[in-house]
Amino acid sequence: MNQLFKNNKELLLNTSVIELINYCKSLENEIIDNKQKFTIENKLIELIKDIYFSIIDTIQEDNDAKRFRNNRIDYEFALKNLKTYLENFSKDNNFRF
């Protein structure tokens, strides 16, 4: 803001200009807050998609194993991996469960 008024410092004392500066600062803070919320939402969407597609793949693998009489999916192991994934995601993105 000071750059805008560097040639007219006396304008910084004008009540309307002060109000305008304060309004601009509040808008800047709001934009920053919205960017942070958007980033968090994107990360959560990414997390949900990863889990969803992982579940789909695991079910498909298990169905294939049943059909071809191979070793079936160890769901306990799969759930432990999911838990580890969630813990790492939480730590990496500063989320708390």
Q: What is the pLDDT of residues 4-62, one digit of tens each?
A: 777 888 888 889 988 998 999 899 988 888 888 888 889 899 999 999 999 999 999 99
User: What pLDDT is recorded for position 66?
Assistant: 93
Torsion of CA 43, 44, 46, 48, to 10 degrees: 170
User: What pLDDT is recorded for position 91?
Assistant: 93
pLDDT at 84 over 90: yes
User: What pLDDT is recorded for position 34?
Assistant: 82
CA dist 27 → 1, 22, 23, 91 (Å): 13, 9, 6, 31
For residue 40, give the nearest of 93, 96, 86 by alpha carbon. Answer: 93
User: What pLDDT is recorded for position 2?
Assistant: 67
Rounded to whole angstroms, the Cα distance separating 67 from 32 reads: 53
The model carries a pTM of 0.64
What is the SS3 string spanning 17-77?
A: HHHHHHHHHHHHHHHHHHHHHHHHHHHHHHHHHHHHHHHHHHHHHHHHHHHCCCCCCCHHH
Residue ranges covered by each domain of the chain? 9-92
User: What pLDDT is recorded for position 11?
Assistant: 83
